[in-house]
Structure 1
Amino acid sequence: MTRKNGRTDDGGEAAGTSPGPRRTRRRPRRDSEVNRERLLAAAISAMLREGRNVPLATIAAEAGVGVATLYRKYADRQALMHEIEHRAYGLLVHILEEIEELGCPGREAVGEYLTRCLEVGDQLVLPLHGAPPLMTAEAVRARQTINRHLDAFLDRGRSDGTIRAEVNATDVIVFTALITQPLSYGPSWPRMAGRQIAIFLNALAVDGPIGIPGPEITQRDIEDSFAAQDAT
């Protein structure tokens, strides 16, 4: 039996030698991401219940973390609101990408988008819901992506014959903002909003007798209004 580099030729450790230190693979730390999601979910829940000026200490307590943890991640309420808005845009883009993969007809794609937005409506803390307009490059790109997907659905609908109305992505976005803000009183909101979605989709299918007032409202119009509000 011979030794080679501290090992015997049969693969065992040679006498009098010890194996080198084992390198342990560090498991990625997920605490930070878990705390982030807890804080954002708690913030949205608390704001729905108590309004946007709910104390940050209340949000931290609801998330099960200390106030110091909240402030390490978000220096103030504005920073927290910005993160919630970015999260909402991410949800919408993800929904649109999933629908795009379905390859369904244009009007069906719009309907799928409206239905899925209704399901996550309480998570959509966005300017058309009253949140401060976010003008970061990331937010603007997200809004452009949302518009691009919706315009593609509408173009597809015109090509496949399922959409005839002269509407654009902004019209769909405004309607989405309306159905994802429940009325304060009344019957089940999902039931009521579901009926409004059906009416909207039926309207897309025809060029009705009542003309849509012009000029159309574009993404540029929305961005300009956001920028003006942000500047005040």
Structure 2
Amino acid sequence: MSTGISQRPTETDVGERGLRVDAVRNRERIIEVARELFAERGLDVPMATIARHSGVGVATLYRRFPTKEALVTEVFAEEFAACMSIVDKALADPDPWQGFRFFIETVCAMQACDRGFSAAFVAAFPVGEDIVRRRNHAIRGFAELTRRAQASGGLRADFVPDDLFLLLRANYGVVAAGIESTEAASRRLAAYLLDAVSAHGSRTSAPLPRPIPVRLHEVLCPRDSAR
């Protein structure tokens, strides 16, 4: 039965609610900043740097994310989900070689936009069960994509799924170089890589993306160019 007396929030209730709101905001800010820093610099960004850019103390950061691995897992949860979708879409293509091409081009484009994701994908540190499940799904899917592309005659027979690591490392070299038009350079490299693994070479390849303006001396002799 109602007493007719309104229940006003106590000072303690307001204080706890305020703390909860602050905690949520801090957590969201940390994830946002970590995503930006990982994308720009890779996973080597110190936790102290992430805390400073987030406007929180290091102790606060570690209360939210006890380890860097926990933070990386949270930051790249959406990217791992996207990777699963890419694999599924590639497997759905009726032309196995075109599905393989789509996967390589799309993953290289993701890597060009986000240096941290590819490092997170191949990282050896422990991650949450959901991330492990998504990563394993992507790995199994790529293995099946490889098998189908070879069976169709589009992919060279000596390509193995582990060679994806070599392709991504090559693409990461372009990304890490910090040259202008990184995404355009990555697309051009991906086209060359696909030519290399195609069973028919450039005869079945799409035209190369336009070349990018890179001065070769600056790439081969970066110290001399900086003087």
Q: TM over 0.5, yes or no?
A: yes
Aligned to 1:154: 146
Aligned to 1:196: 189
Tell me how far apart the structure 1 counterparts of residues 191 and 128 of structure 2 sit (CA, whole Å): 35
2:53 aligned to 56, 62, 71, which one?
Answer: 62
Contact 1:165-1:205 within 8 A present in 2 as well: no
CA-to-partner distance for each residue in 1:84-139, whole Å, 9 max, x for gaps?
1565476245323244146223233333333333234323162687x6x2145736
Give 1:39 deviation, angstroms: 1.7
Tell me how far apart the structure 1 counterparts of residues 160 and 144 of structure 2 sit (CA, whole Å): 10
2:71 aligned to 83, 87, 92, which one?
Answer: 83
2:154 counterpart of 1:166: no
Q: How many residues align?
A: 180
Give 1:192 deviation, angstroms: 2.0
Aligned to 2:36: 45
Aligned to 1:211: none
| Letter in structure 2 aligned against 1:180 | Y
Distance verdict in 2 for CA 1:30–1:171, change over 3 Å = farther
Q: How much is the aligned-residue C-alpha RMSD, in angstroms?
A: 4.0
| Letter in structure 1 aligned against 2:114 | G
**Normalising by the residue count of structure 2, what TM-score does the alignment of the two structures yield?**
0.58
Quote the sequence identity (%): 21
Give 1:46 deviation, angstroms: 3.6
Tell me how far apart the structure 1 counterparts of residues 25 and 145 of structure 2 sit (CA, whole Å): 35
CA-to-partner distance for each residue in 1:180-222, whole Å, 9 max, x for gaps?
34142544222222122111222332167xxxxxxxxxxxxxx
CA-to-partner distance for each residue in 1:37-75, whole Å, 9 max, x for gaps?
53233124345459835352x423433555454222123
Distance verdict in 2 for CA 1:146–1:204, change over 3 Å = same
| Letter in structure 1 aligned against 2:88 | E
2:104 counterpart of 1:114: yes
1:126 aligned to 108, 119, 122, which one?
Answer: 119
Tell me how far apart the structure 2 counterparts of residues 125 and 41 of structure 1 sit (CA, whole Å): 18
Judging by fraction of residues, say which structure has more helix: 2
Unpaired runs of 5+ residues, structure 1, are 1-16, 22-28, 209-232
Unpaired runs of 5+ residues, structure 2, are 7-19, 202-227
Tell me how far apart the structure 1 counterparts of residues 197 and 21 of structure 2 sit (CA, whole Å): 45
